[in-house]
Amino acid sequence: MPCHTSPYVSKGLLCLVQLHSVRRLEGKQLEGGVKLHYFCIKNNDGISISASTGSYGRMRRHPWERAVRCVCGAGDGATAERERRGSPITESSPYEVRRAQELNNLLGPKGSSDAIDLICDLHNTTSNMGLTLIHYTSSDWVTLHICRYLQTKITKVPVRVLVLDVPISDAYSLESVSKHGFSIEVGPQPHGVVRADIYIIMKEAVDLTIDWIHKFNSGTVFEGGDMETFRLIKSVDYARDPETRSLTAAIHPQLQDKDFCLLKQGDPLFLSFSGETVNYEEEETLHPFFINEAAYYEKGIAFHVGKKMMLTIPTVQVQKD
């Protein structure tokens, strides 16, 4: 039987978060309305950490995100972190910088042999993304196998795999600190709201991830094969007033909630506040996603578009001593 073993997984994935910890963390954080939850797989005791232990209020996503960026060496937070590199961390350092460095010390350092084996970073979104599993690269076979397992087992909502094609060194999310990692997006869910249906989907995805790791570490052979993924092509901004940059249109009702559906020439994209429809003019058919995500307004992103592609992944099995 052909067998592939990642060089990083010579002894199996160092193991499990305790499920009760995940549950407790999620309940707590969700009440506060904060979007991001970090679920880290490390040794048999299991740890689950929150990137934010500071005084951030409800419905404020971005301080967390900056913290994440500081960990990973990109983005605005990272710029601040780079400026401070070599400077002592003091009580007066911005919270995001301090927390980022703590996380990198705890889970990394990024790129080192000491880094944690696998981080799975849990998000939700106002977009109708179903369950979307996001990778930086198309060569992390361990986590791609986990995604394939989730696609097989989860039937209540669509499960898509998105590949950003960004080098890990440029990646800015927490999971890029670990040797293997991916993030999970589930939506639609408004910021500041807990929805039981979304919670149940996320919990199922986490449970199945742990299930896969158990099986892998127990010697199960996971057969290779083809899997459907989406590759990020580019972002599209809202229609805006050229001078004031204020919105002049919203996502068209025919595009709203149609994440991952096919977008073809002539399809409506935006409906202006004065009633005109703006259509998709390009010849290439693509798949929009993250349509109308609340956190992306300020980034100038109305939605992303991606292209469907098939990936072939090898069979994997833990390496025996």
> Which of the stretches 182-190, 206-214, 218-226, 309-317 binds its own copies when contact is defined by CB under 8 A?
182-190
| 89 vs 193, beta carbon nearer its own copies | 193
Give the residue, chosen from 12, 109, 190, 314, that forms a contact with its own copies under the rule CB under 8 A: 190
> Which of the stretches 22-30, 99-107, 133-141, 147-155 binds its own copies when contact is defined by CB under 8 A?
22-30
Return the closest-CA partner of residue 318 out of 69, 142, 140. 142
Does 192 bind its own copies (CB under 8 A)? Our answer is: yes
Active site includes 185? Answer: yes
Does 292 bind its own copies (CB under 8 A)? Our answer is: yes
Distance, in Å, from the CA atom of 132 to the CA atom of 151, rounded to the nearest integer, reads: 10
**Distance between alpha carbon 153 and the CA centroid of its chain, in Å?**
20
| 73 vs 188, beta carbon nearer its own copies | 188
Distance, in Å, from the CA atom of 166 to the CA atom of 230, rounded to the nearest integer, reads: 14
Helix/strand/coil for 106: helix
| 7 vs 275, beta carbon nearer its own copies | 275
- The size of the interface with its own copies (CB under 8 A), counted in residues, is 39
Distance, in Å, from the CA atom of 249 to the CA atom of 217, rounded to the nearest integer, reads: 51
| 17 vs 74, beta carbon nearer its own copies | 17
| 5 vs 256, beta carbon nearer its own copies | 256
Strand partners, 271: 250, 277
| Host H or E run for residue 214 | helix 196-217
**Of 115-144, which residues contact its own copies (CB under 8 A)?**
126
> Which of the stretches 5-13, 25-33, 278-286, 307-315 binds its own copies when contact is defined by CB under 8 A?
25-33
Give the residue, chosen from 6, 9, 16, 26, that forms a contact with its own copies under the rule CB under 8 A: 26
Q: How many CB atoms within 10 Å of residue 47? A: 17
b or e along 275-291 (b: 16 or more beta carbons within 10 Å of the residue's beta carbon)? eeeeebeeeeebbbbbb
* Binding-residue pattern over the window 80 to 99 for its own copies, x denoting contact by CB under 8 A: --------------------
Q: Minimum Å distance from CB 111 to its own copies?
A: 35
Distance, in Å, from the CA atom of 70 to the CA atom of 174, rounded to the nearest integer, reads: 9
4 near 314, Cβ under 8 Å?
Answer: yes
Pure H helices in 59-140? 62-72, 75-84, 95-107
| 12 vs 32, beta carbon nearer its own copies | 32
* Binding-residue pattern over the window 236 to 275 for its own copies, x denoting contact by CB under 8 A: ----------xxx-xxxx--x--------------x-xx-
| 12 vs 190, beta carbon nearer its own copies | 190
Give the residue, chosen from 228, 297, 299, 309, that forms a contact with its own copies under the rule CB under 8 A: 297
Return the closest-CA partner of residue 121 out of 211, 58, 206, 31. 206
b or e along 219-233 (b: 16 or more beta carbons within 10 Å of the residue's beta carbon)? eeebebeebebbbbe
Q: Minimum Å distance from CB 290 to its own copies?
A: 12
Q: List active site positions.
A: 185
List residues near its own copies by CB under 8 A: 23, 26-28, 30-31, 33, 58-60, 126, 188-197, 199-200, 246-248, 250-253, 256, 271, 273-274, 292, 294-295, 297-298
